[in-house]
Structure 1
Amino acid sequence: MITGLDHVQLAAPPGTEDALCRYCEGALGMARVPKPPALAARGGCWFEAGTVRLHLGVDDAFRPSAKAHPGLRVTDIDALAARLTAHGADVTWDDGLPGHRRFYSHDPVGNRLEFLEPLS
Protein backbone atom coordinates (compact mmCIF):
# COMPACT_ATOMS: atom_id res chain seq x y z
CA MET A 1 0.00 0.00 0.00
CA ILE A 2 1.15 3.54 -0.71
CA THR A 3 2.22 5.34 2.47
CA GLY A 4 3.77 8.56 1.20
CA LEU A 5 5.76 10.29 -1.48
CA ASP A 6 9.48 9.58 -1.35
CA HIS A 7 10.71 12.15 -3.90
CA VAL A 8 9.93 14.02 -7.09
CA GLN A 9 12.28 13.70 -10.04
CA LEU A 10 12.56 16.32 -12.74
CA ALA A 11 14.68 16.04 -15.86
CA ALA A 12 17.40 18.41 -16.98
CA PRO A 13 19.67 18.66 -20.01
CA PRO A 14 23.31 17.59 -19.69
CA GLY A 15 25.69 20.21 -18.31
CA THR A 16 23.10 22.19 -16.33
CA GLU A 17 23.86 20.90 -12.83
CA ASP A 18 25.71 24.07 -11.76
CA ALA A 19 22.79 26.34 -12.73
CA LEU A 20 20.32 24.01 -11.04
CA CYS A 21 22.44 23.88 -7.88
CA ARG A 22 22.55 27.69 -7.72
CA TYR A 23 18.77 27.79 -8.17
CA CYS A 24 17.85 25.01 -5.72
CA GLU A 25 20.32 26.08 -3.04
CA GLY A 26 20.20 29.84 -3.53
CA ALA A 27 16.67 30.62 -4.70
CA LEU A 28 14.79 27.75 -3.07
CA GLY A 29 16.98 27.35 0.01
CA MET A 30 17.23 23.58 -0.36
CA ALA A 31 20.28 21.59 0.76
CA ARG A 32 22.18 19.51 -1.77
CA VAL A 33 22.57 15.92 -0.66
CA PRO A 34 25.00 13.40 -2.13
CA LYS A 35 23.71 10.81 -4.55
CA PRO A 36 24.63 7.18 -3.85
CA PRO A 37 27.91 6.35 -5.62
CA ALA A 38 26.20 3.90 -7.99
CA LEU A 39 23.92 6.73 -9.22
CA ALA A 40 26.36 9.67 -9.08
CA ALA A 41 28.03 8.65 -12.35
CA ARG A 42 24.74 9.30 -14.18
CA GLY A 43 24.94 13.03 -13.41
CA GLY A 44 22.18 15.12 -11.93
CA CYS A 45 21.80 16.28 -8.35
CA TRP A 46 19.56 15.77 -5.33
CA PHE A 47 18.15 18.31 -2.87
CA GLU A 48 16.16 18.28 0.37
CA ALA A 49 14.20 20.75 2.48
CA GLY A 50 12.29 19.33 5.44
CA THR A 51 10.50 16.22 4.15
CA VAL A 52 10.68 17.33 0.51
CA ARG A 53 13.17 15.56 -1.74
CA LEU A 54 13.83 16.83 -5.25
CA HIS A 55 15.93 14.77 -7.66
CA LEU A 56 17.18 16.30 -10.90
CA GLY A 57 18.22 13.71 -13.45
CA VAL A 58 20.10 14.23 -16.70
CA ASP A 59 18.14 13.47 -19.87
CA ASP A 60 19.87 13.80 -23.25
CA ALA A 61 16.47 14.32 -24.92
CA PHE A 62 15.25 16.84 -22.33
CA ARG A 63 12.18 18.94 -23.07
CA PRO A 64 10.45 20.75 -20.21
CA SER A 65 6.79 19.88 -19.78
CA ALA A 66 4.29 22.66 -20.34
CA LYS A 67 1.85 21.24 -17.78
CA ALA A 68 3.36 18.59 -15.48
CA HIS A 69 4.89 19.96 -12.28
CA PRO A 70 5.44 19.32 -8.59
CA GLY A 71 3.31 21.32 -6.17
CA LEU A 72 5.44 22.49 -3.25
CA ARG A 73 3.69 23.60 -0.05
CA VAL A 74 5.44 26.60 1.50
CA THR A 75 5.26 29.09 4.34
CA ASP A 76 5.63 32.85 3.79
CA ILE A 77 4.80 32.62 0.10
CA ASP A 78 5.35 36.36 -0.44
CA ALA A 79 8.93 36.12 0.81
CA LEU A 80 9.58 33.12 -1.44
CA ALA A 81 8.14 34.94 -4.46
CA ALA A 82 10.41 37.91 -3.72
CA ARG A 83 13.41 35.60 -3.29
CA LEU A 84 12.76 33.86 -6.63
CA THR A 85 12.31 37.22 -8.37
CA ALA A 86 15.59 38.45 -6.87
CA HIS A 87 17.27 35.37 -8.37
CA GLY A 88 15.88 36.23 -11.82
CA ALA A 89 12.96 33.78 -11.90
CA ASP A 90 9.54 34.85 -13.15
CA VAL A 91 6.61 34.41 -10.76
CA THR A 92 3.05 34.04 -12.07
CA TRP A 93 0.34 34.28 -9.41
CA ASP A 94 -2.82 32.18 -9.77
CA ASP A 95 -5.91 32.59 -7.59
CA GLY A 96 -7.74 29.60 -9.05
CA LEU A 97 -7.37 27.23 -6.07
CA PRO A 98 -9.81 28.06 -3.26
CA GLY A 99 -8.29 28.21 0.21
CA HIS A 100 -4.73 28.76 -1.08
CA ARG A 101 -2.37 31.41 -2.33
CA ARG A 102 -0.18 30.08 -5.09
CA PHE A 103 2.13 30.93 -7.94
CA TYR A 104 4.01 29.16 -10.69
CA SER A 105 7.64 29.62 -11.65
CA HIS A 106 10.23 27.79 -13.74
CA ASP A 107 13.68 26.54 -12.84
CA PRO A 108 16.67 27.53 -15.03
CA VAL A 109 16.00 24.71 -17.53
CA GLY A 110 12.27 25.35 -17.88
CA ASN A 111 10.71 22.86 -15.45
CA ARG A 112 7.41 24.24 -14.14
CA LEU A 113 7.05 24.46 -10.35
CA GLU A 114 3.94 25.31 -8.32
CA PHE A 115 4.29 26.89 -4.86
CA LEU A 116 1.24 27.03 -2.62
CA GLU A 117 0.36 28.12 0.88
CA PRO A 118 -2.96 27.25 2.48
CA LEU A 119 -4.94 30.18 3.84
CA SER A 120 -5.54 29.96 7.58
Structure 2
Amino acid sequence: MLTAVDHVQLAAPPGSEDRLRAYYAGILGMTELPKPPALAARGGCWFEAGGVQLHLGIEADFRPARKAHPGLRVRDIEAYAARLAGRGAEVIWDKELPGHRRFYSSDPVGNRLEFLEPVDPPS
Protein backbone atom coordinates (compact mmCIF):
# COMPACT_ATOMS: atom_id res chain seq x y z
CA MET A 1 0.00 0.00 0.00
CA LEU A 2 1.34 3.46 -0.89
CA THR A 3 1.87 5.78 2.06
CA ALA A 4 3.80 8.78 0.72
CA VAL A 5 6.04 10.07 -2.03
CA ASP A 6 9.60 9.46 -0.85
CA HIS A 7 11.28 11.73 -3.40
CA VAL A 8 11.04 13.12 -6.92
CA GLN A 9 13.92 12.61 -9.30
CA LEU A 10 14.77 15.07 -12.05
CA ALA A 11 17.50 14.62 -14.63
CA ALA A 12 20.48 16.89 -15.24
CA PRO A 13 23.40 16.92 -17.67
CA PRO A 14 26.89 15.73 -16.74
CA GLY A 15 28.97 18.37 -14.97
CA SER A 16 26.01 20.49 -13.79
CA GLU A 17 26.27 19.79 -10.04
CA ASP A 18 27.69 23.21 -9.10
CA ARG A 19 24.89 25.02 -10.95
CA LEU A 20 22.32 22.72 -9.32
CA ARG A 21 23.73 23.44 -5.85
CA ALA A 22 23.67 27.18 -6.52
CA TYR A 23 19.98 26.98 -7.47
CA TYR A 24 18.50 24.36 -5.15
CA ALA A 25 20.51 25.31 -2.05
CA GLY A 26 21.41 28.93 -2.76
CA ILE A 27 18.20 30.19 -4.38
CA LEU A 28 15.49 27.78 -3.20
CA GLY A 29 17.00 27.40 0.29
CA MET A 30 17.06 23.59 0.30
CA THR A 31 19.67 21.56 2.18
CA GLU A 32 21.92 19.23 0.25
CA LEU A 33 21.79 15.64 1.47
CA PRO A 34 24.81 13.36 1.30
CA LYS A 35 24.37 10.56 -1.23
CA PRO A 36 25.42 7.02 -0.30
CA PRO A 37 28.95 6.39 -1.67
CA ALA A 38 27.85 3.90 -4.35
CA LEU A 39 25.30 6.41 -5.67
CA ALA A 40 27.58 9.44 -5.25
CA ALA A 41 29.94 7.88 -7.79
CA ARG A 42 27.21 8.38 -10.43
CA GLY A 43 27.19 12.16 -9.87
CA GLY A 44 24.15 14.31 -9.23
CA CYS A 45 22.84 15.87 -6.00
CA TRP A 46 20.04 15.34 -3.51
CA PHE A 47 18.21 18.16 -1.71
CA GLU A 48 15.59 18.43 1.02
CA ALA A 49 13.33 21.07 2.58
CA GLY A 50 10.19 20.69 4.66
CA GLY A 51 10.04 16.93 4.20
CA VAL A 52 10.35 17.23 0.39
CA GLN A 53 13.27 15.53 -1.31
CA LEU A 54 14.39 16.30 -4.84
CA HIS A 55 17.05 14.08 -6.38
CA LEU A 56 18.94 15.35 -9.42
CA GLY A 57 20.40 12.44 -11.37
CA ILE A 58 22.94 12.73 -14.14
CA GLU A 59 21.75 11.64 -17.57
CA ALA A 60 24.19 11.55 -20.51
CA ASP A 61 21.45 12.20 -23.09
CA PHE A 62 19.78 14.89 -20.95
CA ARG A 63 16.65 16.73 -22.08
CA PRO A 64 15.03 19.10 -19.55
CA ALA A 65 11.51 18.39 -18.30
CA ARG A 66 9.61 21.39 -19.68
CA LYS A 67 6.08 20.07 -19.12
CA ALA A 68 6.46 17.34 -16.47
CA HIS A 69 7.33 18.91 -13.12
CA PRO A 70 7.14 18.57 -9.35
CA GLY A 71 4.51 20.75 -7.67
CA LEU A 72 6.06 22.17 -4.50
CA ARG A 73 3.89 23.67 -1.76
CA VAL A 74 5.23 26.82 -0.17
CA ARG A 75 4.20 29.11 2.65
CA ASP A 76 4.03 32.88 1.99
CA ILE A 77 4.25 32.48 -1.77
CA GLU A 78 4.66 36.21 -2.44
CA ALA A 79 7.79 36.36 -0.27
CA TYR A 80 9.12 33.13 -1.76
CA ALA A 81 8.61 34.42 -5.32
CA ALA A 82 10.38 37.66 -4.36
CA ARG A 83 13.28 35.62 -2.93
CA LEU A 84 13.67 33.70 -6.19
CA ALA A 85 13.34 36.77 -8.41
CA GLY A 86 15.76 38.71 -6.19
CA ARG A 87 18.35 35.99 -6.70
CA GLY A 88 17.98 35.96 -10.46
CA ALA A 89 15.49 33.12 -10.97
CA GLU A 90 12.63 33.51 -13.40
CA VAL A 91 9.15 33.67 -11.80
CA ILE A 92 6.13 33.14 -14.07
CA TRP A 93 2.78 33.58 -12.30
CA ASP A 94 -0.20 31.47 -13.37
CA LYS A 95 -3.82 32.06 -12.27
CA GLU A 96 -5.42 28.98 -13.84
CA LEU A 97 -5.61 26.68 -10.77
CA PRO A 98 -8.68 27.52 -8.66
CA GLY A 99 -8.05 27.83 -4.94
CA HIS A 100 -4.30 28.34 -5.30
CA ARG A 101 -1.67 30.98 -5.97
CA ARG A 102 1.11 29.54 -8.07
CA PHE A 103 4.10 30.30 -10.22
CA TYR A 104 6.60 28.42 -12.33
CA SER A 105 10.37 28.65 -12.45
CA SER A 106 13.06 26.66 -14.21
CA ASP A 107 16.22 25.31 -12.67
CA PRO A 108 19.57 26.18 -14.31
CA VAL A 109 19.39 23.15 -16.63
CA GLY A 110 15.84 23.91 -17.81
CA ASN A 111 13.66 21.64 -15.64
CA ARG A 112 10.25 23.17 -14.86
CA LEU A 113 9.22 23.57 -11.21
CA GLU A 114 5.79 24.61 -9.92
CA PHE A 115 5.42 26.43 -6.60
CA LEU A 116 1.94 26.72 -5.12
CA GLU A 117 0.06 27.75 -2.02
CA PRO A 118 -3.63 27.09 -1.30
CA VAL A 119 -5.70 30.22 -0.70
CA ASP A 120 -8.37 30.43 1.95
CA PRO A 121 -11.88 30.44 0.53
CA PRO A 122 -13.72 33.75 0.99
CA SER A 123 -15.66 33.88 4.28
TM-score, normalized by length of structure 2?
A: 0.95
Match of 1:76 in 2: 76
Match of 1:89 in 2: 89
The alignment yields a C-alpha RMSD, in angstroms, of 0.7
Match of 1:11 in 2: 11
Measure the CA separation in 2 of the matches of 1:43 and 1:66: 22
Measure the CA separation in 2 of the matches of 1:19 and 1:75: 25
Measure the CA separation in 1 of the matches of 2:27 and 2:118: 21
Measure the CA separation in 2 of the matches of 1:40 and 1:50: 23
Measure the CA separation in 1 of the matches of 2:95 and 2:70: 17
CA offsets per residue over residues 26-53 of structure 1, 9 Å max, x none? 1111000100111000000000102100
Measure the CA separation in 2 of the matches of 1:64 and 1:100: 26
Measure the CA separation in 2 of the matches of 1:57 and 1:71: 18
Whether 1:37 aligns to 2:16 is: no
Whether 1:23 aligns to 2:9 is: no
* Identity over aligned pairs, percent: 72
Measure the CA separation in 2 of the matches of 1:5 and 1:29: 21
Measure the CA separation in 1 of the matches of 2:87 and 2:62: 23
Aligned-pair CA distance for 1:86: 1.6
CA offsets per residue over residues 62-115 of structure 1, 9 Å max, x none? 011221000000001111111111221111100111110000000000000000
Aligned-pair CA distance for 1:21: 0.3
SS of 1:82's partner is helix
Report how many aligned residue pairs link the two structures: 120
Question: Where in structure 1 do 4 or more consecutive aligned residues deviate above 4 Å?
Answer: none
